[in-house]
Each structure stands twice: as C-alpha cells, then as structure tokens.
Amino acid sequence: MSIQELLSTRRVVSAVAVPGKQGLLEKLSTLLTEDGSNVDAVAALRCMVERERLGSTGIGDGVALPHGRLKGLTRAVGAFVTLEQEIDYDALDRKPVRMAFALLVPEGANQEHLLWLRELATVFSNKSVRENLLHASTSDELYRTLTQPRGAS
C-alpha cells in the first residue's frame, strides 16, 4: 500500500487556518472532493462527524486521522492538511492537533479500511516524518514527504 494511491497534490494543503475541530473536518471534506474523487462533501463530513461521535480520531503526537466508510465510493481517498495553529481535538494523548489526514473508503471495504489505518498510523508514528511535514511550506513538499518510499523499520 502506498499513500500515493490515496492522495493528489490538490488534496494536500499546508498552513490551513481553522477555528476548531468542526472547521477542520469541513475543510477536509471539501478537499476530499478535489481531482475527480467523486466524493460528496456533505456526505464526507457527515461520515467523519459520525465516526468522531464514537471516539476521537486524534491519534496523538499532534495528529488526527478522521476516517470512515462512505456509501457510493469506488476506491479509498485521502486528504491531508497541516494547520496554521494547533487546535483542541480531544486527542488520545490530550495534546492539541497540528496536522490531519482524512481517509474515506468504500462502505463495505472493512479490511481495506483497517489496512489503510495501520499504514497511516505507522507513517505518523515516525517523529522525523511528522517534523518534516510541519516544516514543509508548500503542498508539493507535503505531498513528497507523505508519498516518499519508506524502508522496513
């Protein structure tokens, strides 16, 4: 699995200004519609908000991983942002969030969903990757950092 399968440079944005968690989810929902992904922004937002009600997708170390299964999707799609200012996200480690990767998969893709979540958790558990993402000033830099091949650890 490669994150490159989920993203495009148009769905990766640096230094986004959002007032809080809801604003972040709204921005990600809009980004998920870019590049012919056939994602409905309203449905994407509803899907991620419903998932948040089950428990925070703030995975720690300043990272949020909002995700869900969406009816009508034909393939997994993702979007990524770094934030201009950290926000409270009710993360597991109780620390504010500074970056977020949204993941949507087709409704019945349970196994694929779990595999993508594991892949993303592995990427974001790497302190060097997180630091490089926070220091990137352009969408292209973010995209390259996220999609660069990583050796087995």
Quick: pLDDT tens for 120-152: 999 999 999 999 999 998 999 999 999 987 654
The pTM (predicted TM-score) of the whole model is 0.95
- Please say if 135 is a catalytic residue: no
Cβ atoms of 116 and 124 within 8 Å: the answer is no
Cβ atoms of 81 and 14 within 8 Å: the answer is yes
Catalytic residue, from 11, 21, 27, 67: name it: 67
Kind of pairing between the strands at 63-64 and 67-70: unpaired
What range does the domain containing 75 cover?
3-147
For residue 1, give Cα distances in angstroms to 4, 61, 122, 143.
9, 23, 12, 16
Quick: pLDDT tens for 7-65: 999 999 999 999 999 999 999 999 999 987 789 999 999 999 999 999 999 999 999 99
Phi then psi for 57, rounded to 5 degrees?
-100, 15
Q: Does 153 reside within a domain? A: no
Each residue of 60-73: b (16+ CB within 10 Å) or e? bbbbbbbbbbbeeb
Q: Does 110 reside within a domain? A: yes
How many folded domains does the chain comprise? 1
Residue 12: which CATH number?
3.40.930.10
Higher pLDDT, 2 or 86: 86
Alpha carbons 6 and 37: distance in angstroms, whole number: 10
Q: Does 88 reside within a domain? A: yes
Q: Is 53 exposed, middle or buried (0-12, 13-18, 19+ CB in 10 A)?
A: exposed
Q: Does 152 reside within a domain? A: no
Q: How many CB atoms lie within 10 A of CB 13?
A: 19
